[in-house]
Amino acid sequence: MRGAFAGVDAHSAKTLINKPHLVYGTAWKAENTAKLVHQAIKSGFRFIDTACQPKHYNEAGVGNGWTAATQELGLNRDDIWLQSKFSPIGGQDPDNLPYDKDLTAPEQAKQSLAVSLKNLHTDYLDSWVLHSPLPSFEETMKVWRTMEEAVDNGTVKQIGISNCYDYDTFRLLYQQAKHKPAVLQNRLYAESKFDEDLRCFCMDHNIKYQSFWTLTANRKALATDEVKQLAAAKGLSPQTYMYAFLMSLPSNYITPLDGSTTQAHMMEDVAVMERMQGGETMFTEHDQIHMADILGFPNPKQVIKR
C-alpha cells in the first residue's frame, strides 16, 4: 500500500511528526474499531496505535478503517503513521493467539509482524513496539534483536517498548540495543510518580514518551473547579487542557494516546492539537508549574534542568 493514494494533506503525519500531536489509541474498541478509526482520521488524526493482540485490539479493524478513510480523503500511505505491537504470549488470550504458541518468542515476534502487516494492509510499519518486557532481560533482548532485524530490512522504521516501568531495565535495554528504543509507551499516573526518572531519560535521549490512561488516571484532578476554570480560560475542556499541558512540555517529548469514541470529542482534541501545531503558546512556565502542582506531577522546571 506504499503510496497507493493521491493527494496532499496539510495534516500529514510526515509533516507533523516533530510537532505536538496526539496518537489515536484503538484498544478495547472491538467491532467498532474500523468505524472509529475511519472517523478519527476524517476528524484530523494522522497517528494511529494498535497491537497484534486480539484480546484487547481489533487490528484488522484498524486496517479497514484507515484504508477507507484515506481512500475517501485522497491520502497517501505516508500521510498516516501506523504503530503496532508484538504482545508476548503472557499478554495474549490463549484461545485466540495471533501466532504459533510452540514457537520461540523471537519467532513469534516475526509471525506477529507478518500478521500485523496483513491486518493493516501495509508493507511497512512506522513504529513497532514490544508490548511488555519478557520474564527475563535475556529473553527481552532476544526479541529486541529480532525487532532490530525488521528495522534493518526496512519492514519497520523504528522500534520501542511499552509497559516498562523499571528504570534500570529500560536503561540497560537502551545501552545494549543496536537500534535504540524510539518510543516508551507507559501508563501515566501518580502512583508511579508519573515515571519521572524514565521520562527524564527519554527527554535526554530523544525518545518519545507515549502516555496512556492519561485522562482516566487523572480524572479526580481534572474534575476540580480549579482545572475547569483554567481550561475554560483557554477555551478548552479539562480533558483537552490535560492533553495541551503534556504536549507543551519541553521538546515535545510527551505524546499522549487519545482513545476518544465520539466525533465531538475527536474534533475537540484535534482542535487543540492544531492550535499548538500552529505555534500557539498555550502554557507559560507559570501555567505548566500550576497544572503540575494540581496533578502532583514533578515540576516541569526540574525536567528542563535535567
pLDDT for 71-128, tens place per residue? 999 999 999 999 999 999 999 999 999 999 999 999 999 999 999 999 999 999 999 9
Question: Which residues make Cβ contacts (< 8 Å) with residue 139, sequence separation at least 6?
Answer: 105
Question: How confident is the model at residue 11, as a pLDDT?
Answer: 77
Beta strands in 115-229, from DSSP E residues, in sequence order = 127-130, 159-162, 183-187, 208-212
DSSP 154: T
Q: Which residues pair with 186 in a beta bridge?
A: 211
Residue whose cell numbers read 535521549: 205
d(CA 30, CA 59): 9
Question: How confident is the model at residue 227, as a pLDDT?
Answer: 97
* 61 assigned to some structural domain: yes
Number of structural domains, the chain? 1
pLDDT above 90 covers what percent of the chain? Answer: 90
Closest CA to 304 of 241, 253, 265: 253
Phi-psi region of 3 (alpha: psi -120 to 50; beta: other; left: phi over 0): left
Residue whose cell numbers read 499541558: 245
Question: How confident is the model at residue 232, as a pLDDT?
Answer: 97
Question: Which residues make Cβ contacts (< 8 Å) with residue 198, sequence separation at least 6?
Answer: 164, 165, 167, 170, 184, 186, 209
* 66 assigned to some structural domain: yes
Distances (CA, A) of 185 to 20, 23, 41, 161, 227: 16, 11, 21, 6, 26
Q: Which residues pair with 156 in a beta bridge?
A: 125
Q: What is the CATH number of the domain that holds 154?
A: 3.20.20.100
Query: Given 3-state DSSP classes, what are the helix, strand and coil percentages for the chain, each rounded to the nearest 5?
Result: 50, 10, 35
- Ordered mean pLDDT values, 10 residues apiece, the chain (306 residues): 44 90 98 98 98 98 98 96 98 98 98 98 98 98 98 98 98 98 96 94 96 96 97 97 95 94 97 95 92 90 60
Question: How confident is the model at residue 203, as a pLDDT?
Answer: 93
Q: What is the pLDDT of residues 225-249, one digit of tens each?
A: 999 999 999 999 999 999 999 999 9
Question: Which residues make Cβ contacts (< 8 Å) with residue 186, sequence separation at least 6?
Answer: 162, 163, 164, 165, 192, 195, 198, 209, 210, 211, 212
Question: How confident is the model at residue 305, as a pLDDT?
Answer: 52
Coil, helix or strand for 260?
coil
- Identify the domain containing residue 64 by its residue range: 13-215+251-258
* 223 assigned to some structural domain: no
* 88 assigned to some structural domain: yes
Does this model's pTM top 0.85? My answer is yes
Question: How confident is the model at residue 302, as a pLDDT?
Answer: 65
Question: How confident is the model at residue 251, as a pLDDT?
Answer: 84
152 close to 128: Cβ distance less than 8 angstroms: no
* 227 assigned to some structural domain: no
* 171 assigned to some structural domain: yes
* 166 assigned to some structural domain: yes
What number of H helices and E strands is found in the chain? 13, 8
